Amino acid sequence: MPLSHQHQHALALCVRLDRALQAGEVDLAAWQDEIHQIFDHEVSIHFSAEEKEVFPAAEKFSEMNAVVKELRREHKALRKMFAGAADRSLDRKELAAFVEALAQHIRKEERQLFEAMQQVMSPDQLAAIGEALHKALQSAVTVCSMRKPPAK
C-alpha cells in the first residue's frame, strides 16, 4: 500500500509534465528541479525499498523472475534519467521519454508484479513485506510540490 501511494505521486508528476509538454509550456530548469527534488526525497528511497524488500521476496517465485529482472533494469535506466534531471541536462524529448518510462514502469509494478504477488503469496507473507516496507520508507519525505507559475 505505501508503494502504491508513492506511485500515485509519481504518476501525478507524469500527468502534469505530459500536459505541459503537450501545451508547449515547458520550463526545462523548473521541471528538472522538481524531478530532482522528488527523486531525492521519495523515489530514491522507494527504489531502494523495492530492491531490498519486494524484489527478493518476489524472486522466490519463478513465475515472477522475468518481471523482476525487467523492473531492476528499469530502475537502473530511470536512475540515469533522474541523474540527468539533477544535472539539468534533459531536453524536451528526454523529458517526454522520462514521462513515458516512469509511467510504464509504475504500471508494470502495479499490474504485473503486485498482482502476481497477491496471487501466490499468503496474507502473512504479504503482511511481513508490508511491515518491512513501512520501516524502509519511513525516511521518505512525501513530496508532491507544485511548480510555481511563470512570472508575467
**CATH number for the segment(s) 2-137:** 1.20.120.520
* pLDDT value, residue 142: 46
* pLDDT value, residue 14: 95
Residue boundaries of the structural domains of the chain: 2-137
Between helices 123-137 and 2-23, what is the axis angle to 10°? 60
* pLDDT value, residue 56: 97
CB proximity list for 95: less than 8 A, separation 6 or greater: 17, 21, 26, 28, 31, 32
* pLDDT value, residue 139: 62
* pLDDT value, residue 34: 95
For 60-110, give the DSSP string. TSGGGHHHHHHHHHHHHHHHHHHHHHHTT---HHHHHHHHHHHHHHHHHII
Q: How far apart are CA 126 and CA 4, in angstroms?
A: 14
Supply angle C-alpha 14, 16, 22, rounded to 5: 95
pLDDT by 10-residue block (mean), the chain, 152 residues: 81 95 92 95 92 96 97 98 97 97 96 96 94 81 45 46
